[in-house]
Amino acid sequence: MDINFYKEQLQAKEDMLARTTKFLLDTKQSLEKKNTELAQMYKNILDSVNVAERIQKSLLPNAGILKLFFRDAAYKVIQQIGVGGDTIFIKNTSEGIIFGLLDATGHGIPAAMLSISCTFLLRELTSSIEINNPKNLLSLLDYQLQNAFGNEHHSTAQAEGTIFSFSPKTNKLIYSSAKGKAFLSRKSGQVEELPHTRKSIGSSRNLEFENFEIDLRDIDKLLLYSDGLTDQFNNEVGKKFSRTKLKELFQNNLHKEVDEIMTVIEHELNHWKNATKQTDDISFMIIKF
């Protein structure tokens, strides 16, 4: 063949290589630009979540208020992504003190907004209207969720938890629970689970809550917790932390002070999940009577 033919073929391949190289360089630059934009978007989102986290944490109450009424108290809230649906409520009233733990449905910012809404509503109900009946407080929370997010059957926004009321005048501890989780230890050392309504706040129309009364003369400690604690998964063993494990942990450390028990629970939880990511918002509270 004529040498010119090979020259033309070589030139064509060089042109194709040049076009391919340019395409790859343009693609690289485009990807770098997109990566820079995505990194900035991620930073903006992370910054927003960090600010939201500080705001939500600032709304958490001072456990010292509980210590004015009981021998000791402490709590811990560990949201899955910094913000979340778990919250602690503590409010002194003209009759005594209202306190409890709530776990709003979902995760992240939507759950945090619902949790904050529940907190402000409880503050309003216990302050301006001066309601201190736990059953009525849960009923009004349920009413609010049904009105704001409900259909003819149930609310798309729900919450679980327990609200307690204590009056030094009567020395009675009264509570109402919507699928709330709690263990109670008696001075004899016996640990039992508190009964509760088996439906969430907002789960169904015309839901009836019930008040329960606890005689404090025989009570030692109270442990409230959200299901994020007992449902924490361990991928290596394929199991949850479990309610049984938490009950045994509480039982075996009853002789310790509140802060020590809190530390033990958090340590055991971290040891359990190991490299597994946190699967839900986690909160727990211990009160010594």
Give per-residue pLDDT as tens, 136-171.
999 999 988 888 887 666 677 899 999 999 999 988
Q: Which H or E run contains 207?
A: none
- Return phi, psi of residue 5, to 5°: -60, -45
Q: Residue 65: is it exposed, middle or buried by C-beta count within 10 angstroms (0-12/13-18/19+)?
A: middle
- Contact predicate 240/231, CB 8 Å: yes
pLDDT tens for the 289 residues of the chain, in order: 577 766 677 777 777 877 888 887 888 888 888 888 888 887 888 888 889 899 999 999 999 999 999 999 999 999 999 999 999 999 999 899 999 999 998 889 999 999 999 999 999 999 888 899 999 999 999 988 888 887 666 677 899 999 999 999 988 899 999 999 999 999 999 999 999 988 899 888 777 899 999 989 899 999 999 999 999 999 999 999 999 999 999 999 999 999 999 999 999 999 999 999 999 999 999 999 9
β-partners of residue 91 are 98
- Contact predicate 176/162, CB 8 Å: yes
- Token output for 90: 């503590």
pLDDT at 281: 97
Q: How far is CA 90 from CA 84, 127, 198, 204, 220, in A?
A: 18, 12, 24, 27, 20
| Separation between Cα atoms, residue 104 and residue 115, nearest integer Å | 6
pLDDT at 168: 92
∠ at Cα 94 (167, 115), nearest 5°?
Answer: 85
Greatest Cα-to-Cα distance within the chain, rounded to the nearest angstrom: 112
β-partners of residue 241 are none
For residue 170, the 8-state DSSP code is T
- Kindly report the length of the chain: 289
163: helix, strand or coil: strand
Measured in whole angstroms, how far is the alpha carbon of residue 239 from the centre of its chain? Answer: 20
**pLDDT (tens digit per residue) in 197-219:** 888 998 887 778 999 999 898 99
Q: How far is CA 12 from CA 9, 16, 43, 126, in A?
A: 5, 6, 46, 83
Angle (deg, nearest 10), helices 108-127 and 134-149: 130
pTM of the model: 0.86
